[in-house]
């Protein structure tokens, strides 16, 4: 399981890096305003995907960890997701048509429709991926994700090179979704050897419904800023923010592998909560140790990274460095919340998570509504930090009520202090030679962890042996 987790994390890293460089290339071709339009449209796609998944991904992962589905069951789930997407599309399209919102879509409706159509094929790949994770085949799920992003990068770079328009980039999404769907079906068929039991729809709604509502509220607080900036500020502000935000998203692979590996373990009812909490504690420790050096080192490197990535367009994307420097402070909370939410879902504590996420979602919307008209993308970044930090406070407090021996805040503080030590090293190395800053700071931090014996093989074996 540990090897699969490592491969899952590495493939997620490669996938996100490929996607990130495609977005950088698109930003270089488009400029901030058109890239802001793409960022807004792709965020709508993400929100549609989360809402129409109806919590089925986590439900499938949990269900298939203990039973084998049939092919008819697979297509029932896919059909349900497609139906939910269609039902969600109609009222949103009506509101956009009435110009209630959707500033970034009004001038590019054909492009938006092409991007939306990719979601119908994504449902096949995402359903297959959830089954692979439930069967503890993380390597297969990782390979499927790699296929998506490799094909997206190849299609996207090729189309943008010959025809640098928003339609080309959105068409690349559609082609890559079709590619993943075809391969996903070929790979998942051997896993669908069980009897076609059919689903008790009331039971499915009862089990997946709370996760659906939770995922919907998470989508609001996690993506609402990218939707609100064009409405309350400008497309250029949205472009600067989105170009920084995709850098943050490219880093979330560091927590994705750990969370995906632990969720089936969290879902097993026969394991005592204390044991599950200790596994979560180990995961959180290493997440904090990974996140804080990125926070401090990233703030040193922000302007240099923008210059590297955007080249001749660096001046027009100069505000991206400020947005990145702010958003990085939310990264430790994002890492932790990913695991904490899955921990509570594995314990079936849906209500405990949902109540807290609902409060945070409305808090985030309120802060964005106040801050974006005044400070633009800076206000959105501040709202993200406050929201992620508040959710972490609420979830960690609830966890400590049931497992008081955990040392979440201790590791948070230790990682913060050690991460701060990276700042002067990165600053000195950057002044000496820009290319030496990242590997040099990483080497220094790794040696520091080794000297303090904060990376322990017994913990890694314990974590890797979670079954």
Domain end, chosen from 199, 230, 265, is at 199
- Domains identified in the chain, total number: 2
Question: How far, in Å, CA of 448 to CA of 437, rounded?
Answer: 16
pLDDT for the residue 196? 67
142 and 230 in a single domain? The answer is: no
Percent of the chain exceeding pLDDT 70 equals 88
One domain for residues 257 and 224: yes
Residues 136 and 265 in one domain: no
**Judgement on whether residues 97 and 232 belong to the same structural domain of the protein:** no
pLDDT in tens, 278-333: 888 888 888 999 999 999 999 999 999 999 988 888 899 999 999 999 999 999 99
Q: Are 185 and 224 in the same domain?
A: no
Predicted pLDDT of residue 35 = 94
How does DSSP assign 44-65, residue by residue? HHHHHHHHHHTTHHHHHHHHHT
> Is 80 exceeded by the pLDDT of residue 116?
yes
CA atoms within 13 A on the CB side of 26: 32
Of 112-116, 134-138, 207-211, 405-409, which one has max mean pLDDT? 112-116
Give residue 59's pLDDT.
73
pTM for this entry: 0.84
Residue ending a domain, among 199, 225, 250, is: 199
Contact assessment for residue 218 and residue 47, using Cβ atoms and an 8 Å cutoff: no
Q: Do 87 and 148 have their domain in common?
A: yes
Domain encompassing residue 154: 1-199
Q: Which distant-in-sequence residues (6+ apart) come within 8 Å of 295 by Cβ? A: 328, 329, 331, 332, 419
Q: What is the DSSP string of 94-116?
A: HHHHTTSS-HHHHT-HHHHHHHH
191 and 219 inside one domain: no
pLDDT greater at residue 50 or residue 28: 28
Last residue within a domain, chosen from 139, 167, 199: 199
Angle 449-450-452 from CA coordinates, rounded to 5°: 65
Per the prediction, the chain carries an average pLDDT of 85
Same domain, residue pair 176 and 212: no
- pLDDT (tens digit, 9 = 90+) per residue, 34-49? 999 999 999 888 888 8
Q: Judge if 187 and 207 occupy the same domain.
A: no
CA distance 466 to 278: 11
20 and 90 housed in the same domain: yes
- Packing angle, helices 408-420 and 331-346, rounded to 10: 160
Same domain, 331 and 453: yes
> Do 62 and 193 sit in the same domain of this protein?
yes
């Amino acid at each position: 399981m540990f090897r699969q987790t490592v491969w899952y994390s590495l493939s997620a890293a490669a996938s996100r890096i490929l996607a990130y460089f495609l977005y950088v290339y698109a930003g270089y071709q488009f400029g901030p305003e058109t890239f802001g339009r793409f960022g807004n449209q792709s965020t709508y796609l993400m929100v549609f995907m989360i809402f129409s998944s109806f919590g089925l991904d986590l439900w499938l992962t949990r269900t298939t960890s203990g039973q084998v589905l049939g092919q008819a069951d697979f297509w029932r789930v896919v059909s349900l997701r497609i139906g939910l997407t269609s039902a969600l599309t109609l009222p949103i399209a009506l509101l956009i048509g009435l110009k209630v919102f959707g500033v970034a879509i009004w001038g590019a409706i054909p492009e938006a429709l092409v991007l939306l159509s990719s979601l119908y094929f994504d449902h096949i790949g995402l359903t297959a991926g959830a089954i692979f994770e439930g069967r503890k085949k993380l390597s297969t799920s990782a390979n499927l994700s790699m296929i998506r992003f490799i094909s997206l990068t190849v299609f996207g770079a090729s189309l943008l090179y010959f025809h640098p328009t928003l339609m080309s980039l959105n068409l690349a999404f559609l082609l890559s979704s079709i590619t993943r769907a075809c391969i996903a079906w070929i790979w998942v068929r051997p896993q669908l050897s069980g009897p076609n039991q059919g689903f008790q729809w009331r039971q499915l709604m009862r089990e997946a419904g709370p996760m659906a509502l939770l995922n919907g509220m998470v989508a609001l607080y996690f993506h609402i800023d990218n939707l609100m900036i064009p409405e309350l500020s400008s497309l250029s502000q949205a472009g600067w923010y989105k170009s920084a935000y995709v850098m943050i998203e490219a880093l979330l692979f560091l927590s994705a592998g750990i969370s995906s590996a632990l969720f089936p373990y969290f879902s097993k009812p026969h394991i005592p909560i204390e044991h599950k909490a200790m596994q979560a504690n180990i995961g959180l420790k290493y997440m904090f140790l990974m996140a804080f050096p990125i926070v401090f080192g990233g703030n040193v490197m922000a302007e240099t990274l923008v210059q590297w990535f955007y080249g001749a367009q660096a001046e027009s994307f100069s505000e991206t460095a400020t947005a990145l420097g702010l958003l990085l402070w939310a990264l430790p909370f994002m890492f932790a919340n990913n695991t904490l939410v899955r921990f509570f879902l594995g314990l079936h504590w849906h209500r405990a998570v949902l109540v807290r996420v609902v409060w945070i979602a409305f808090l985030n919307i309120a802060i964005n509504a106040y801050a974006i008209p005044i400070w633009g993308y800076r206000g959105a970044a501040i709202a993200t930090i406050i929201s992620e930090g508040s959710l972490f406070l609420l979830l960690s407090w609830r966890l400590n009520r049931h497992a008081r021996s955990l040392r979440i805040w201790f590791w948070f503080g230790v990682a913060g202090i050690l991460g701060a030590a990276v700042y002067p090293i990165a600053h000195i190395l950057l002044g000496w030679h820009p290319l030496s800053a990242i590997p040099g700071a990483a080497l220094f931090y790794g040696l520091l962890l080794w000297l303090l014996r904060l990376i322990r093989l017994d913990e890694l074996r314990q974590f890797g042996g979670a079954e």
